[in-house]
């Protein structure tokens, strides 16, 4: 199973070094803040970046380009995370550009999708995720679809959102995973990997590990505690 630890904007340099020494290259894909990527790189970890510029190298103060990430041996990039879509109001066109730049550098993309609480209440979950998938998949080369991993993260289930700790039922996630799997198979004739994310923690992992069509987990809040993250991984291996 694929386990991605999304550390978000957390840790000091000292904390990051201690965390890295405890993670001990366990096979978890680690997604630290940009400045800490080299700490993990020197010990050969599988690295995921939390973001990437939609532009090529050049005068874009504050951005980090796909080629810079590649030079740090970053293998995966998170694109379309709900915090980027909703807090930073990143438009689909920017997300598409980010994906294209990442693919061009040979990186894989964890493309995050998911409905808001309001969309769920209005029975728009399937329509929302379908729109998010088609908006990207219609502009990339069919041969690149296997370099995309879907991160299904209902916005309302993210642990520091409006409903801390709430997750969909396994049945609800199974239905979404089936919908995504069939959509991508039917429209693009490709098999797609899906990770679940949103309040995954030690209390619910034994239940979530039973999901169908699930390739792994994208873990935010619970990944801040390295011992918890390693225990979650152990449960996923069983």
**CA-to-CA dists, residue 49 to 8, 17, 105, 119, angstroms:** 10, 17, 13, 28
Q: Is 6 near ligand PGA (CB under 6 A)?
A: yes
Active site residue 81: yes
Compute CA 150 distance to the chain's CA centroid, rounded to the nearest angstrom. 7
Q: Which of 129, 200, 209, 211 binds ligand PGA (CB under 6 A)?
A: 200
In which element (H, E) is residue 160 found? none
Quickly count: other Cβ atoms within 10 Å of residue 33's Cβ: 16
Quickly count: other Cβ atoms within 10 Å of residue 36's Cβ: 20
Interaction residues for ligand PGA, span 219-238 (CB under 6 A)? 219-222
Catalytic residue, from 20, 54, 81, 83: name it. Answer: 81
Report strand pairing: 76-79 vs 216-219: unpaired
- Beta carbon nearer to ligand PGA, 57 or 206: 206
How is the chain split among helix, strand and coil, in percent rounded to 5? Answer: 45, 15, 40
| Listed residue (194, 195, 126, 201) closest to 167, CA to CA | 201
Q: In angstroms, give the least distance from the CB of 128 to ligand PGA.
A: 17
Residue nearest to ligand PGA (CB): 220
User: What gap in Å lies between CA 192 and CA 84, rounded to an integer?
Assistant: 23
What mask of x and - would describe binding to ligand PGA in positions 146 to 185, judged by CB under 6 A?
Answer: -------x----xx--------------------------
Q: Is 194 near ligand PGA (CB under 6 A)?
A: no
Active site residue 172: no
Interaction residues for ligand PGA, span 35-74 (CB under 6 A)? none
Q: In angstroms, give the least distance from the CB of 228 to ligand PGA.
A: 11
The residues binding ligand PGA (CB under 6 A) are 6, 153, 158-159, 197-200, 218-222
- Residues serving a catalytic function are 81, 153
């Amino acid at each position: 199973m694929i386990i991605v630890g999304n550390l978000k904007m957390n840790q000091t340099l000292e904390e990051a070094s201690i965390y890295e020494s405890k993670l001990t290259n366990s096979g978890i894909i680690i997604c630290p803040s940009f400045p800490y990527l080299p700490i993990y790189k020197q010990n050969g970890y599988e690295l995921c970046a939390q973001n990437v510029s939609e532009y090529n190298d050049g005068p874009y103060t504050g951005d980090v380009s796909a080629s810079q990430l590649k030079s740090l041996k970053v293998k995966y990039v998170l694109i379309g995370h709900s915090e980027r879509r909703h807090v930073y109001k990143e438009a689909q066109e920017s997300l598409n550009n980010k994906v294209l730049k990442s693919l061009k550098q040979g990186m894989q993309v964890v493309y995050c999708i998911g409905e808001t609480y309001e969309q769920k209440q209005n029975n728009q979950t399937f329509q929302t995720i379908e729109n998010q998938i088609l908006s990207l998949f219609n502009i990339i080369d069919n041969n690149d679809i296997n370099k995309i991993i879907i991160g299904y993260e209902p916005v309302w289930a993210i642990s520091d959102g409006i409903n801390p700790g709430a997750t969909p039922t396994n049945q609800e996630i199974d239905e979404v995973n089936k919908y995504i799997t069939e959509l991508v198979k039917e429209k693009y004739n490709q098999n797609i990997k899906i990770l679940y994310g949103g309040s995954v923690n030690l209390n619910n992992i034994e239940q979530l590990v039973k999901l169908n069509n699930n390739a792994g987990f994208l873990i935010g809040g619970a990944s801040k505690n390295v011992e918890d993250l390693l225990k979650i991984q152990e449960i996923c291996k069983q």
